[in-house]
Amino acid sequence: MTTSRRGRGLLAVSAVSAAATVLAMTATGANAAQTAKPDPAKPAQSENFGGKEQKGYYDARTPNAKTTYARSAKVAGKETAASEKFRNSLGTQGVVELDPNTGTPAQVTKLNGFLTGKSGKKAETIVLDYVKAHPEVFKLSAADLGTLKLRKDYVDDLGTHHIFWSQVVDGVEVFGNGLKANVTKHGQLVSVMGSPVSGLASAAQSRSAAAAPKLSASAARSAAIEDIGGTAKSATAKSAGVSTTFSNGDTAKQVWFHTADGLRKGWLTYVNAGGTKVYSHVIDAQTGGLLFRRNLSSAANGDALVQDNYPGAAKGGTQRVENLIYNKWLPKNAKTLLEGTSVAAWADVNDDNQPNAGETVKVPGTAGPSGTGAEYKLTSFPNASSFCSASYICTWDPAKPDSWKTNMNQDVTNAFYLASNFHDWLAKPPISFTPAAGSFDAAGGDPVHLNALDGAATGADGGPDANHIDNANMNTPPDGTPPTMQMYLWHQPGATDAQDPYVPASGANDASILYHEYTHGLSNRLVVDATGNSTLNSIQAGSMGEAWSDFYAMDYLVSHGLEKDTTAPGEVLEGKYVAHGELFRTEAIDCRVKAVSPNCVKANGAKGGYTYGDFPTIGGTPEVHSSGEVWAQTLWDLRERFGRGYAMSIITRAMELAPADPTMLDMRNAVVQADLIASGGKNADIIWTVFANRGMGWYAGVVDGGDAYPAEDFHKPPTGATTTLSGTVKDKDTGAPIAGALVYVGGHSSGYAGDYAGSTDAAGKYTITGVAPGTYPKVVVSAPGYELIVQSVKVSPGASANFVPRRNWAASSGGGTVAGFNGPDFSPQCGPDFAIDNAQGTGWGSTTGDNNGTATNTMIAKHVDIKLPAKVNVSNFNVDPSNTCGDPGSSSTGQYRIETSADGSTWATAAEGTFGAANRGKYNLVAPTGNATGVQYVRFWMLSPQVPDFATNCPNGAFGGCKFTDMTELQVFGTK
């Protein structure tokens, strides 16, 4: 029996959800549950949504690392002399990255200058003239240029034009591809991005008949909702051309979707299936299959009583009067609903995302004793917890679950005030997050839908359930569609203070949490592709998303004198209120490298702030909130070095200059470019010093945006002549040359063809020109049927670097096949074949219990049998036990066993053990303990998921591992 993949988490490129959350409380760093017992001495780190584990990101254009690297190798191998000349003409700090699907530039730019000189021409003309002048790189014909449609051209506060063209054929837009460019106020071209599709018009014409949609808009909406585990409720559809709008706010629009295999016609959907199930999909219009999935979640008349920081804070902790109408946040005739110019707020206590009767709040100042007077006064619950005090006022009592009702009006009103206030603050220079840049405004059709007290009445006893506690989130659709912010209650009913170390309060009363969530809207609207979709998808990009949110929130509070920031380190604490003054993150945001402060101590006891090499260990395992702390602290360094005004300007402008799905090194480059625009590069040396001090120097290495184990470096850019990196790639066991292998310098090329990248010829030789001398810690080699090699290389004149990867006998690209398996088959997205595709972006997903994925606390062991292409004496197994298929971390394999066989009939144990959270996201070498000779079959058993306290937490806990158990990759090394 098989299970329909529509009800199943589909393939995910990264285990990291693109959604935006604050931290959820856990004891293990895995997932929150009713029985979790956090260590009150440690800040909580989680990848879930207050217990809501979400399905992950997937993009059929880059389905896994193997295909991306293989395509990149082909693109690199086709580089012409003219394109190489162009690339070299940009100099040592030039950047040319070619998209492996389109073969056109994902990014062309320079870090130490502009692509063109000053010009008085229109910005759009400057860009298009440059593209036309370099067909050797951009590969766009006159017909291709004719598909470009100017979508947006806005000017930031430095005078820089940010220009976006989508590609349109027959009225249908290409999803994600197009042109994105930046031009200074003096007419200098900063960069061109976007991966435009070459030959689009002819490809669309040849595909038109075959691509006619077989799936209706309604069917596409249903497929999207089923994919995320929701139930499609009936909704009236209204169509206008290629777009359909549903009565509940969902949408579906026809798009072209370009992959390496050609164009597909698809439906781009936006669906809100309740709670945090708010997603964008592209559903194949012919087959109904998944092409793209992104989680959008990462919350006298008119006088209100509000506080600027949190209840009890030394500054901004006492309620004061603020007129919501005078500030133009509400219309003059507003009476019964807080529905304003940028925010619509209500208490979504049943978590249906709708303002139902009893959930809305009357406009304050209209219902006082005489029909006038400021409202709503906060009522304290001093006995709700030992954490309650005059400095940290409790606003509800978890022992009386419905006590949140007492402060409901105050809660919603305060949330409305904070969000409206922050909207106006972000719109001012030097941040300048305006409607043109993508801000949230009722006039633009996308005010923030702020759900205060979200899910406060979802529990059996009238309080919040496990999915609606100790967290907050905000989803951010593309410009024009309203985002939803959800603010939860804190401190779980029934938990002691030792079990749940948070103040019984509401996130709507903590400015640092609400501002954190709001800033996700800023970053997700500024770091986008050519068609306006956020690209903060990988763990590196997602970590920066969390860091920006902390940084902008604390910048506001410090700059307004609400939180202290002197020259002493360790003072600026995110989440200070709910954590009753203790650390909420693992360190304070103002911890400099080697700083001495109780709030600046690493997990290993070392003193000082974080550097890039700490990325995977900050929270114990790689995770966006904790891993992002190194980026947040680096931004605070810039703020200290340059002062608030200039730092906020170049940090914000850098988001607008960012390539798609950036690494921290990409964003370092973008900050350098922002300064180039603002000052002519006068501060470049200081900026490089700041980043180098944090381990993000010139030679720092990262495989790609999904690399959770970056290599740090503390050098500024070298000067002097460049040299050539060359060598061979040969089989470690046979010595035979390996053709078509991609070789690139991580941190200077993200697995794309272009600068610092090349591919091997038939003799296994490669050459990369224009490389600055020095030691690069992550030079990457990828070849079909072989392990991925990542090693340090010292580049100097006359030196060479040779690589000898091991044959992976299990790899399907090398002859390995799936001989059998039990459990359901979730092909084509995450069937058993993906256990041996030699790529960590995909994997094999199965169920924990029965084939239907019924939540259970009893594991029905699942196995996959691999037939090797020859009999092998096995030296080692290599296993990545990570969650896949869009499932959460708890679905990773915990207990495992590996068996071997010579004939596929008689099996014997070769290795066994247990993986934990620290084993996720990487290969783990497993040595056989026996039965390793003459092996032609290998069986891998998944014996348990990584659900903490599995027997107790399933099926009642909010864990994906109760339903599904996964693993990402199995490799087999040895000799024939």
pLDDT of residue 311: 98
First to last CA, the chain: 37
**786 shares its domain with 816:** no
**424 shares its domain with 561:** no
Confidence of residue 58 (pLDDT cuts 50, 70, 90): confident
Say if residue 67's pLDDT is above 80.
Answer: no
- Distance CA(712)–CA(777), nearest Å, equals 8
Say if residue 6's pLDDT is above 60.
Answer: no
**328 shares its domain with 411:** yes
Number of folded domains that form the chain: 6
Confidence of residue 630 (pLDDT cuts 50, 70, 90): very high
pLDDT of residue 442: 95
Confidence of residue 48 (pLDDT cuts 50, 70, 90): very low
**647 shares its domain with 549:** yes
- Distance CA(632)–CA(646), nearest Å, equals 17
* 730 within domain boundaries: yes
* Sequence-ordered list of residues with C-beta below 8 angstroms from that of 205, at least 6 positions apart, any chain: none
* Sequence-ordered list of residues with C-beta below 8 angstroms from that of 33, at least 6 positions apart, any chain: 26, 51, 466, 948, 949, 953, 957, 958, 959
Supply the DSSP symbol for 749.
Answer: B
User: Number of C-alpha atoms within 13 angstroms, CB side, residue 290?
Assistant: 34
- Distance CA(217)–CA(223), nearest Å, equals 10
Whether the CB-CB separation of 450 and 411 falls below 8 Å is answered with no
Domain containing residue 764: CATH number: 2.60.40.10
Confidence of residue 212 (pLDDT cuts 50, 70, 90): low
Q: Highest mean pLDDT: which of 635-649, 753-767, 873-887, 914-928?
A: 635-649
pLDDT of residue 103: 87
Whether the CB-CB separation of 43 and 584 falls below 8 Å is answered with yes
Among 638, 671, 693, where does a domain finish?
693
Q: Of the given ranges (196-200, 296-300, 648-652, 743-747), which has the lowest mean pLDDT? A: 296-300
Positive or negative torsion for Cα 343, 345, 348, 354: negative
Q: Of the given ranges (153-162, 247-256, 269-278, 771-780), which has the lowest mean pLDDT? A: 269-278
**783 shares its domain with 846:** no
Q: Which two tokens stand for residue 937?
A: 């079959």
Say if residue 12's pLDDT is above 60.
Answer: no
* 24 within domain boundaries: no
pLDDT of residue 439: 97
**262 shares its domain with 352:** no
Whether the CB-CB separation of 879 and 969 falls below 8 Å is answered with yes
pLDDT of residue 822: 96
Say if residue 285's pLDDT is above 70.
Answer: yes
- Distance CA(75)–CA(98), nearest Å, equals 8
pLDDT of residue 367: 47
Q: What percent of the chain has pLDDT over 70?
A: 91
Report helix angle 539-559 to 664-679, nearest 10.
50
Say if residue 90's pLDDT is above 70.
Answer: yes
**452 shares its domain with 493:** yes
> What average pLDDT does range 198-215 have in this prediction?
76
* 476 within domain boundaries: yes
| Cα–Cα–Cα angle for 174, 250, 436, rounded to 5 degrees | 60
> What average pLDDT does range 165-188 have in this prediction?
94
- Distance CA(717)–CA(594), nearest Å, equals 23
Q: Of the given ranges (39-48, 572-581, 761-770, 845-854), which has the lowest mean pLDDT? A: 39-48
* 309 within domain boundaries: yes
Q: Highest mean pLDDT: which of 86-95, 568-577, 880-889?
A: 568-577
- Distance CA(15)–CA(843), nearest Å, equals 11
**155 shares its domain with 124:** yes
Q: Of the given ranges (98-107, 226-235, 309-318, 470-479), which has the lowest mean pLDDT? A: 226-235
pLDDT tens digit string along 348-407? 999 998 899 999 998 887 544 444 468 899 999 999 999 999 999 999 999 998 999 999
pLDDT greater at residue 260 or residue 573: 573
Among 693, 714, 748, where does a domain finish?
693
Of 7, 16, 172, 11, nearest to 545 by C-alpha is 16
Whether the CB-CB separation of 924 and 944 falls below 8 Å is answered with no
Say if residue 930's pLDDT is above 80.
Answer: yes
**320 shares its domain with 449:** yes
pLDDT tens digit string along 680-707? 999 999 999 999 999 999 999 998 888 8
Q: What percent of the chain has pLDDT over 90?
A: 67
Q: Which two tokens stand for residue 736?
A: 């035979």
pTM score, two decimals?
0.85
Say if residue 522's pLDDT is above 90.
Answer: yes
Say if residue 649's pLDDT is above 60.
Answer: yes
Whether the CB-CB separation of 293 and 268 falls below 8 Å is answered with no
**172 shares its domain with 151:** yes
Say if residue 16's pLDDT is above 70.
Answer: no
Say if residue 433's pLDDT is above 80.
Answer: yes
* 21 within domain boundaries: no
pLDDT of residue 37: 27
Among 646, 674, 693, where does a domain finish?
693
CA-based radius of gyration for the chain:
27
Say if residue 589's pLDDT is above 90.
Answer: yes
Domain containing residue 398: CATH number: 3.10.170.10
Which structural domain, as residue segments, surrounds residue 615?
A: 539-693
Say if residue 590's pLDDT is above 70.
Answer: yes
Reported residue count of the chain is 976
Confidence of residue 66 (pLDDT cuts 50, 70, 90): low
Q: What are phi and psi of 533, to 5 degrees?
A: -85, 135
Confidence of residue 64 (pLDDT cuts 50, 70, 90): low
> What average pLDDT does range 780-786 have in this prediction?
90
Mean pLDDT taken over the chain: 88
* 421 within domain boundaries: yes
* 944 within domain boundaries: yes
pLDDT tens digit string along 654-673? 999 999 999 999 999 999 99
Confidence of residue 35 (pLDDT cuts 50, 70, 90): very low
> What average pLDDT does range 434-463 have in this prediction?
94
Confidence of residue 25 (pLDDT cuts 50, 70, 90): very low
Q: Of the given ranges (13-17, 553-557, 922-926, 957-961), which has the lowest mean pLDDT? A: 13-17
Whether the CB-CB separation of 964 and 847 falls below 8 Å is answered with yes
**319 shares its domain with 458:** yes
Say if residue 523's pLDDT is above 90.
Answer: yes
Domain containing residue 557: CATH number: 1.10.390.10
**290 shares its domain with 308:** no
pLDDT greater at residue 79 or residue 796: 796
* 59 within domain boundaries: no
Q: Would strands 189-193 and 172-183 be described as parallel, antiparallel, or unpaired?
A: antiparallel
pLDDT greater at residue 165 or residue 93: 165
